[in-house]
């Protein structure tokens, strides 16, 4: 999905299934009531677990002792 205030710019670089002309705040305000929550959040939980692991790995690397040349 792509939202753009200028309709001539829609799918300019990448083809999109849904193109919406308008400002993002106004368009999303109209779309939000149409969204239905998904009961199965396993996919989101897995992504959150991977992101948490990644941040932990980055912190460990940042805190490791350096050996300057």
Please state, in angstroms and rounded to a whole number, the distance separating the CA atoms of residues 38 and 35. 9
Please state, in angstroms and rounded to a whole number, the distance separating the CA atoms of residues 23 and 48. 30
Taking a C-beta distance cutoff of 8 angstroms, is the pair 29, 43 a contact? no
DSSP 25: H
The sign of the torsion formed by the CA atoms of 21, 24, 30, 31 equals positive
pLDDT in tens, 12-69: 888 889 999 999 999 999 999 999 988 899 999 999 999 999 999 999 999 988 887 7
pLDDT at 14 (0 to 100): 86
In this structure, what are the phi and psi dihedrals at residue 45, rounded to the nearest 5 degrees?
-65, -40
* pTM of the predicted structure, to 2 decimals: 0.49
């Amino acid at each position: 999905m792509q939202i753009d205030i200028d309709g001539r710019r829609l799918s300019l670089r990448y083809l999109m299934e849904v193109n919406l002309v308008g400002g993002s705040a106004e368009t999303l305000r109209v779309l939000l009531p149409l969204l239905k929550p998904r009961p199965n959040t396993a996919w989101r939980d897995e992504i959150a677990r991977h992101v948490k692991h990644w941040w932990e790995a980055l912190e460990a690397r940042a805190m490791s002792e350096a050996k300057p040349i």
